[in-house]
Chain A
Amino acid sequence: MTKAKPRFSRKLLAIPYGLFLAVFVVIPLFIIIYYAFTDDAGKFTFEYVRVFFNESGKGFWGFFTSYNFKTIMQSLFISLMSTVICLLIAYPVAYIIAKCKLKNKSVLLLLFIVPMWVNFVLRINALKELFVWIGIYNKSDTWNIVNTIIGMVYDFLPFMILPIYTTIIKIDKSYLEAAKDLGATPARAFIKVTLPLSKAGIMSGVSMVFLPSMTNYVVSNYLTFRNVKIIGKLIDDYFTGDLWHDGSFIALVLLLFMFLVTWLTGGFSPDEQTDTRGTSLW
């Protein structure tokens, strides 16, 4: 009888990733939770939950008129609008590039991605200068919101185009032929077949635009002379003001939003088409 040699198991390859996840994801998450529910002395407390919901001192209902609530709502609105506008621009672009008969589609696609190679602080600054030149920079509160949305759309558009493009290009031509064969006009075939089959790409794009645009306060800071606040800025304010416990709790609230959005866009379901999430160009 020979003894089996201790063999290099493929499972061992997972160790670096496991370590990475633990050190950079799981442990920080617990630190945030720890800070959110302890006071300076390290004792467990709901103090910061209370502070968050009762910031103005008018009791629970006062929360809905509080500064925190307004900031979150404003942030949600900006994210929502940015996502919708991105989708409306990105879908036709992705569709046209995917369906065009050009041999070198990736060149066309590159045109939309190349701006990402330029540092985004520079790009946002340039956009700011453009707004100043047109005369809409910091003109009013409404313009500030509009400018933030424009900035977000400008910044995140490629993240919407790429996943949609990858799903559309992968749709088997025979599905469309089958739809037409069964009597669908090109428009009906699009609505009944192409659109539902590109859902995975849309969902992936939505979560890739919606979530970052809640926290990307560089855009709102630069484009509105720091007059528009989004959740990301709120957290930043607390941390820079040494209010770690308050900041941690808001970070948890944000986490909840992220979780909700991911759940709603089907990010947790074991869908066969989720591979489109990873198959973008990067």
Chain B
Amino acid sequence: METMNKTSNKNIIELIDVCKEFDGVSVVEKMNLYVRKGEFVTFLGPSGCGKTTTLRMIAGFEMPTGGKILLNGEDISNLPPNKRPVNTVFQKYALFPHLNVFENVAFGLKLKRIETTVIDKKGNEKIKYTKLPKAVIEEKVRKALEIVDLVGFEKRSISTLSGGQQQRIAIARAIVNEPEILLLDEPLGALDLKMRKEMQLELKAMHKRLGITFIYVTHDQEEVLTMSDTIVVMSDGTIQQIGTPEMIYNEPKNTFVADFIGESNIFTGVMPKDGLVRFCGKPFTCLDSGFEKDEPVDVVVRPEDVQITSPEEGKLKGKVTSVIFKGIHYQILVQCGRYEIEIQSTVAPEVGATVGLCVQPDGIHVMRKIFRVNKFTGVITKRNTVEFGDGEYDCDVTQLYPGSYLDEEGYLITAKGEKLDLTDTEVNVEVGLHDITMSDNLDEGCAAQGNIISLIYKSEYYRYIVRTENEEDYVLACEDLWNENDLVSLIIPKDKIRLTLKDTEGSKK
């Protein structure tokens, strides 16, 4: 992890190829990560991305189905939670309702046994386990309550506390045990906005004061930027990017990260040469380099990096379609031809006015396109159609062998005159992003069907990911707006399916 600052160089926890499956469904895939001692690390991602599962594996509530978790270099993958020097602040606090505040905070201390070696009468060394003295427990609880600012609440019952107070008690209950790592599972989710902001700053201050490692899980991007030293952005059980808040915000690695953290305009463009990118039909100077000539790229421009100028000065010209006051700034939408651009500015143009827009080079972030083509492994059927990705499609099998044709019986005659039966031949299938169309008519023959699991607006089109029942993902581009979770069937024209023979040692996907 490329972190800055004062955290020490020692890795306190390391995840090596950690995998987790629930009933055959993979939730975390081959995760590799290390956390330095004293760091404030946040796992960020949409719900279901595996961040909580990862945290629960570190806490010991879930055992990884593959890989190793190292704590201070020792494998703790199969250690039960009570043997790990790790404490958790739970999402819904999980304070014991039958105990009062003091008993809750003292719970861990009362269970603690100190190992002392004593020499008995016969002179043999014996290990004795003693409870912590009552005075020590009381002192430690008082200190923990002081840290969370709730001294004097010892005798109160949990049900009489407000959400914020319960939150603090949950933190006190965890830190009183002086864990090496404090795990926080969306601890601020149940608080109102004002309370949440306060607690964010307090947690940050607490982290500085205590000097222990914090691992924090959230889906709230604003929370992340405020508190973390390091952010781990996750999606679909894999890490998308690891970095400091500045890095994640300013240099998102892919469109998912850009879209998830902050508002962004995402365009499709090409890189004619280093330092020059073409999008929205205009060339822009940028700071990125190292791409192939004319490589298709995703371009991210943050709304605050777009400047409004007079129509003549602007690189792009457009019509203001909406202006919304957001407190510290206005959110302005400008339609430039077929591109819709979001802008944040402290001055607002009038709706309907024609304005110019320009972007400084440092406001343009170019990233490699991740999905340029869908790749599947398919099988040719008896009818010379191809089965892949949960569907069966008509295709042109003659492209497998140049110069070949099909005879009346459905056999393939190669250019050399060989007669081939293609049934059950494994092939690689490639389908372009723009070659798949969605239809809500679910009776489209044998076409694959699936639910839309993700959509990202890319100014010209929406990029959808459609997942079928058997977890085959299709990535496609479409100008129309569909809803997430819509069930659609996927139509691919015969001539858009590119087939190649599978190498004997060919890769799987």
Contacts and interface: CB of A to CB of B under 8 A. Distances in A.
Interface of A: 172, 174-175, 177-185, 188, 192-193, 196-197, 199, 272
Contacts of A182: 82, 87, 107-108, 111, 173-174, 177
Nearest to B92: A174
A102 to B, nearest CB: 15
**Ordered nearest first, which 9 A-B pairs have the shortest CB separation?**
A182-B108, A174-B94, A178-B94, A180-B81, A196-B98, A183-B111, A181-B88, A180-B82, A183-B82
B159 interface: yes
A173 B9 CA distance: 37
Contacts of A174: 90-92, 94
B87 A177 contact: no
Contacts of A188: 111
A180 B174 CA distance: 12
A196 B88 CA distance: 22
Given A172-B94, A183-B177, A193-B96, A178 B111 contact: no
Interface in B263-284: none
A181 B97 contact: no
Contacts of A199: 98
Contacts of B315: none
Given A182-B87, A182-B108, A175 B81 contact: no
30 contacts: A172-B92, A172-B94, A174-B90, A174-B91, A175-B94, A175-B96, A177-B59, A177-B61, A177-B81, A177-B90, A177-B94, A178-B173, A179-B107, A180-B60, A180-B80, A181-B59, A181-B61, A181-B82, A181-B86, A181-B88, A181-B174, A182-B87, A182-B173, A182-B174, A183-B82, A184-B82, A184-B111, A193-B96, A197-B97, A197-B98
Contacts of A180: 60-61, 80-82
B112 interface: yes
B112 A183 contact: yes
B230 to A, nearest CB: 23
Contacts of B88: 177-178, 181
Nearest to B103: A192
Nearest to B111: A183
A196 B97 CA distance: 10
Contacts of B97: 197
Contact of A183 (B92, B94, B98, B108): B108
A181 B111 contact: no
Contact of A181 (B87, B91, B92, B98): B87
Contacts of A178: 88, 90, 94-96, 173
A175 B97 CA distance: 9
Chain B CB count within 10 A is highest, among A172, A177, A178, A180, for: A178
Nearest to A172: B94
Given A174-B91, A179-B107, A185-B82, 17 more contacts: A172-B92, A175-B94, A177-B59, A177-B61, A177-B88, A179-B96, A180-B60, A180-B80, A181-B82, A181-B174, A182-B111, A182-B177, A183-B82, A184-B82, A184-B107, A184-B111, A192-B107
A183 B95 CA distance: 15
A172 B112 CA distance: 24
Contacts of B59: 177, 181
A184 B84 CA distance: 11
B425 to A, nearest CB: 42
B185 to A, nearest CB: 10
A177 B183 CA distance: 13
Nearest to B170: A178
Contacts of B60: 180-181
A184 B82 CA distance: 6
A184 B107 CA distance: 9
Contacts of B91: 174
B319 to A, nearest CB: 53
Contacts of B80: 180
A159 B60 CA distance: 37
A274 B80 CA distance: 34
A174 B173 CA distance: 14
Interface string B134-168: 00000000000000000000000001000000000
B239 to A, nearest CB: 25
Interface in B70-115: 80-82, 86-88, 90-92, 94-98, 107-108, 111-112
Contacts of B90: 174, 177-178
Contacts of B92: 172, 174
B48 to A, nearest CB: 19
A179 to B, nearest CB: 7
Nearest to B177: A182
Contacts of A196: 98
A192 B97 CA distance: 12
Nearest to A195: B98
Interface string B162-202: 00000000000110010000000000000000000000000
Nearest to B108: A182
A177 B177 CA distance: 16
A138 B311 CA distance: 108
A25 to B, nearest CB: 32
Contacts of A175: 94, 96
Contacts of B95: 178
A193 B95 CA distance: 11
Contacts of B174: 181-182
